[in-house]
Chain A
């Protein structure tokens, strides 16, 4: 008895020392990490606000003067790609929810052979580099078009399909999370009262997933709206997405116009998020 307690006292003293060290380290570390995070995320963003007002076509400090004119020139260069991105993203939200929500329910509510494989398959677009998927979709589209004459290249369809592929895993994941947190007693009660499985899903499960589905829709929208790698090979003349159009512009030059584009996009996104937040408390639903 005496011996063990002596040992445990010694270890606790040693641990207490290491704890003190940790405590001394952890506070500065947390501050430094947070500062680095703020730097990585926001300094570039704030700089674009400043640059977008420069009255000169190239970026050197100090500027020759300040102007709003870049903002008025934006629509001519980027209005069309913005609309394309918006349309594609909205189509992707609808399609990925249509296939992803049922898949999420199926994976969470039923046990069957091969379930692991299907779950892995559905989540796999997250782990396969999308640039490789994008190129293989293009070559497949060309091959199909050559053999059947069905026009796939140069259409919205392959772009939407590509984006649906990478949005669906997020929808499935968020549905799984939302269902895992949901108490199943209600579903079981409904079933024991004689409701068919389909009725249970329609009347009980889906209404319970409402918040999760909104988060899923939001994520599907983000994934599509900002995907560059998946779009690289699937865009075509007249159907260029905003990230690709931005990249093409940036490969030629950086100027206050592109900074103005960033500013408009940041403000637009912030406004949409704030409005949505009033309805669904994003902070809660994306994270859970």
Chain B
């Protein structure tokens, strides 16, 4: 996102105010009406108090937030969610970057097939992709049978952290590869050739020339992956099982099962606040230097 606004800022025009309003007005109005106002109204609920029959009593009370941050259970869920989002992002970057880099460099006719194969999973919903994992990891599955025959021991794969990590990472990976690919393609490949022409090895040229230029794009991709993972619902519910708690399912539980709207609001704004805070810190630290 950052590299886009940089490019955008290049050439200011004299602004026809009416036209600019016409162009930007509708989108701004939709986001304001459908997101900003409902979010503010919903944030207000977090300061109400919960009542079993009336659901909610009007109040101004920070008790719900105090309850969240003083309860080891809630804090544990928050930390696990952040940890999972971080791990999934690192895993996606480690796998995604080399793939994206090769995609950019490849000139072969397989390139379009490869791009197609990466785009394809994007169109298949996350729940459907979880089905695949449930089938691969289940007890009695092919993988399980292979592990048992080879090692003689049984490793439970379903309902583990690893299963959830696989689920989230495989969901995020195509988004990440495509974002990275566009970041790398934005870097002029002739720069690398020039560096190599001046005697640098391809690796050195990569680390000295390509990587620094592609870095902001990498950060943007990582942020996208992190936000998607903080939000994950299907993977923890389906692959993690009832014992695996993350924030999005917790939000659903507070609202749906417990009917505790004030607490649901608190959980929602804790997810949101934490995500925005961490994203803000990451962009400040990683993008400021440029």
Contacts and interface: CB of A to CB of B under 8 A. Distances in A.
Contact of B248 (A15, A103, A222, A229): A229
Interface residues of B, number: 106
Contact of B201 (A23, A36, A137, A222): A23
A287 B112 CA distance: 12
A184 interface: yes
A137 B173 contact: no
A172 B23 CA distance: 12
B182 to A, nearest CB: 5
A15 B135 contact: no
A26 interface: yes
Contacts of B45: 139
A48 B135 contact: yes
B9 A246 contact: no
B4 A250 contact: no
B191 interface: no
Contacts of B140: 59-61
A44 B125 contact: no
Most B-side CB within 10 Å, residue of A26, A61, A125, A129: A129
A76 interface: no
A119 B121 contact: no
Nearest to B22: A102
A242 interface: yes
B115 A287 contact: yes
A44 to B, nearest CB: 2
B141 interface: yes
A9 interface: no
B30 A165 contact: yes
Interface in A116-147: 116, 118-119, 121-133, 135-137, 139-140, 143
Given A30-B102, A44-B129, A172-B27, A247 B122 contact: no
A124 B19 CA distance: 23
A283 interface: yes
B119 interface: yes
A228 B234 contact: yes
B122 A41 contact: no
A247 B237 contact: yes
A229 B227 CA distance: 12
Interface in B1-55: 1, 4-5, 7-9, 11-13, 15-17, 19-20, 22-24, 26-28, 30-32, 34-39, 41-42, 45
Q: Chain B interface mostly helix, strand, loop or mixed? A: helix
Nearest to B204: A19
Contact of A177 (B4, B94, B120): B4
Contacts of B224: 126
A47 B39 contact: no
Given A119-B5, A122-B28, A269 B99 contact: no
B9 A129 contact: no
Contact of A269 (B94, B97, B123, B230): B123
Interface of A: 15-16, 19, 22-23, 26, 29-30, 33-34, 36-37, 40-45, 47-48, 50-51, 59-61, 98-100, 102-103, 105-112, 116, 118-119, 121-133, 135-137, 139-140, 143, 161-162, 164-165, 168, 172-173, 176-177, 180, 184, 197-198, 201, 222, 225-226, 228-229, 232-233, 242-243, 246-247, 250-251, 254, 258-259, 261-262, 265-266, 269-270, 272-274, 277, 281-283, 286-288
